[in-house]
């Protein structure tokens, strides 16, 4: 009888794949395996659907894509004939039972097992039931070099299906879980609690390997970890950073115990949100092949923090900031925009919009005769700026970064084909007060991996002054909106928590204000459907998480 091993060196490959780049993802996997081999690993655990990139969405419906992924899995399995570490890697697989979100286990040059995800998530940002079929039945542990490994896949440990308990009852000695778990604020605590609950129920240690990187609106923050059978944190990998870390597990009696692994510090709230926005912008720009970006720098807080994020994510040489003044642009705004650009070191251009706006107004004089000047004329300013930014984008191949925050997008204080123009919005899911908090944080800190300078990069005057679109004389946002602390609380109640008007009023808010904000939220849905994608930060962002009808007459009247 072969003696069971008493030590197992497991590498966790916390990497940044690109959806659809199967060859590139395979190359990353191979590089990580070579790194793990140098560190003495026996096994490398990759993340969910790594070869395809996650989430692949409707790419899974293309037979050619599935064949490409399976061919890559077979090639990678063949690599293990070199005597190095075995691998557990995610890939879609089409079988007689359907198309499955799967993993393969490979060792000794061949695939020794396949396992299929049983519990397909169908909520929030997930809709896997559209493209995958659940595994036909729970398959038992995989015997890897004498150790029986249970391998549930992501949602298999989150839902009500008793996958982990069944694997324990079938003889699993430890659980290795490949995940594609997107970021939202404080998500790490949620993951830890989910895993601790499963460890309590099944009595086995669990390794949780999580994907890294930005994929459209979703941010995968890594932060892979393990919880031991004693319910304590066995190791914790870094957040927002790729890594291949080898953990050493030793058999102690009936249990496996982690004797060596990283213990990285997890960032606090503002740092985590800022780094998520930075990572999302960087990956969106780079993975989609843009060489540089352009944005309108108005002298306001939103465009200033977006400029800081762009420089931090991409470098000063890849951002062009454009100030587009009109007759209502204040001297303070001109100075603040210039000071911000100078602090960041990026290119700064001034393109006045007086002539194009006056040209539009002149052209429309006859049509508008007898009408009162108002929002239409104000929006012409925004649309002139949007046209100029798109012209720069077309001429130089720069992606336009759009800069509207969640408070404004919630109530429709944004102009279609104007300031909403753009390819990506790094602060789309940040309320206005969160924008201020992150701006203050950035002035005191330089996040790891940032390419921007230290010190005050967002001038203090931008943070301190009253926010204004400057589309008319002496305009401020609070002319027509409640103070942002009040507005943001009402919106968080309505959007994130789906609270009724009565419950929001019970928090101390004025009923007329709450009903007005609810109305504005509903009627702005058509604008949000046409908005650029942006980084998901909260539990419920506009887009993947919140899908309200555009045509909607419901109003909560108690």
Tell me the catalytic residues. Answer: 48, 117, 154
**Residue positions in the annotated binding site for ATP?**
296-303, 403
The counts of H helices and E strands in the chain are 16, 19
Residue in the structure block whose two tokens are 């604020």? 185
**Residues counted in the chain:** 558
Residue 35 in contact with residue 87, Cβ under 8 Å?
no
For residue 333, what are the CA distances in angstroms to 1, 52, 90, 219, 428? 79, 46, 51, 33, 22
Tell the residue number behind the tokens 């790891």, with chain if given. Answer: 448
Q: Is 403 helix (H, G, I), strand (E, B) or coil?
A: coil
Q: Which residues of 110-139 are buried (b: 16+ CB within 10 A; e: fewer)?
A: ebbbbbbbbbbbeeebbebeebbbbbeebb
* Cβ-based neighbours of 69, under 8 Å, separated by 6 or more: 22, 51, 52, 91, 92, 93
Assigned token pair, 540: 């419920």
* CA 504 distance to own-chain centroid: 29
Q: DSSP readout, 173-197?
A: SEEEEEE--B--TTHHHHHHHHHHH
Helix locations, 95-226, DSSP H: 163-169, 187-202
CB 471 within 8 A of CB 381: yes
- 442 token code pair: 């950035």
What radius of gyration do the chain's Cα atoms show? 26
Cα four-point dihedral sign 182, 210, 215, 408: positive
With beta carbons less than 8 A apart as the criterion, state whether 179 and 48 touch: yes
In Å, how far are 333, 430, 481 from 340, measured between CA atoms? 10, 21, 27
Q: Which residues of 518-541 are buried (b: 16+ CB within 10 A; e: fewer)?
A: bebbbebbebbeebbbbbbbbbbb
| Residues 6 or more apart whose Cβ sits within 8 Å of residue 162 | 201
Sign of CA dihedral 456, 459, 465, 468: negative
Question: Which ranges in 95-181 belong to alpha helices (H)?
Answer: 163-169
Helix (H) or strand (E) holding 107: strand 98-107
d(CA 270, CA 4): 47
């Amino acid at each position: 009888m072969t003696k069971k091993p008493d030590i197992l060196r497991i590498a966790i490959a916390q990497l940044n794949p690109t959806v659809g780049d199967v060859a590139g993802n395979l190359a990353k996997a191979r590089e990580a395996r070579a790194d793990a081999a140098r560190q003495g690993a026996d096994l490398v655990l990759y993340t969910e659907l790594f070869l395809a990139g996650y989430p692949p969405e409707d790419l899974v419906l293309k037979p050619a894509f599935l064949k490409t992924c399976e061919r890559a899995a077979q090639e990678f399995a063949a690599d293990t004939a070199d005597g190095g570490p075995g691998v557990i890697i995610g890939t879609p697989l089409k079988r007689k039972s359907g198309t499955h979100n799967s993993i393969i286990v490979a060792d000794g040059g061949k695939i020794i097992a396949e396992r299929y995800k049983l519990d397909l998530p169908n909520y929030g940002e997930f809709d896997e039931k559209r493209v995958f079929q659940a595994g036909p039945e729970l398959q038992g542990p995989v015997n890897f070099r004498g150790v029986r490994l249970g391998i549930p896949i992501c949602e298999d440990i989150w839902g009500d299906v008793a996958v982990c308990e069944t694997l324990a009852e079938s003889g699993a000695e430890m659980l290795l879980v490949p995940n594609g778990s997107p970021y939202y604020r404080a998500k790490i605590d949620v993951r830890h609690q989910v895993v601790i609950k499963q460890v309590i129920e099944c009595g086995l240690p669990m390794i949780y390997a999580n994907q890294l990187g930005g994929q459209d609106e979703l941010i995968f923050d890594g932060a892979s970890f393990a919880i031991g059978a004693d319910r304590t944190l066995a190791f914790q990998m870094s957040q927002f950073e790729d890594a291949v870390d080898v953990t050493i597990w030793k058999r102690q009696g009936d249990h496996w115990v982690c004797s060596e692994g990283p213990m990285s510090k997890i960032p606090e709230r503002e740092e985590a949100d800022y780094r998520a926005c930075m990572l999302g912008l960087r990956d969106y720009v780079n993975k989609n092949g843009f060489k540089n970006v352009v944005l309108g720098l108005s002298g306001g807080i939103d465009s200033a923090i977006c400029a800081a994020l762009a420089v931090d994510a991409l470098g000063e040489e890849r951002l062009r900031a454009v100030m587009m003044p009109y007759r209502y642009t204040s001297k303070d705004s001109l100075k603040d925009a210039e000071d911000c650009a100078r602090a960041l070191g990026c290119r700064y251009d001034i393109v006045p919009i007086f002539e194009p706006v006056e040209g539009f107004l002149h052209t429309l004089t006859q049509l508008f005769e007898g009408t009162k000047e108002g929002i239409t004329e104000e929006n012409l300013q925004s649309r002139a700026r949007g046209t100029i930014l798109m012209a720069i984008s077309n001429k130089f191949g720069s992606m336009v970064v759009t800069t509207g925050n969640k408070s404004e997008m919630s109530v429709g204080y944004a102009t279609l084909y104007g300031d909403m123009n753009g390819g990506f919005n790094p602060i789309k899911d940040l309320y206005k007060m969160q924008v201020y908090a992150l701006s203050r944080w950035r002035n005191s800190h330089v996040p790891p991996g940032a390419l921007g300078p230290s010190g005050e990069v967002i001038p203090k005057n931008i943070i301190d002054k009253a926010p204004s679109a400057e589309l008319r004389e002496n305009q401020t946002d609070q002319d027509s909106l409640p103070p942002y602390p009040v507005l943001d609380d009402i919106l968080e109640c309505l959007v994130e928590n789906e609270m009724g008007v009565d419950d929001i009023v019970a928090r101390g808010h004025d009923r007329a204000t709450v009903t007005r904000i609810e109305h504005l939220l509903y009627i702005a849905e058509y604008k949000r459907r046409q908005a650029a994608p942006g980084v998901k930060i909260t539990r419920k962002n506009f887009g993947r998480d919140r899908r309200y009808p555009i045509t909607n007459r419901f109003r909560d009247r108690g």
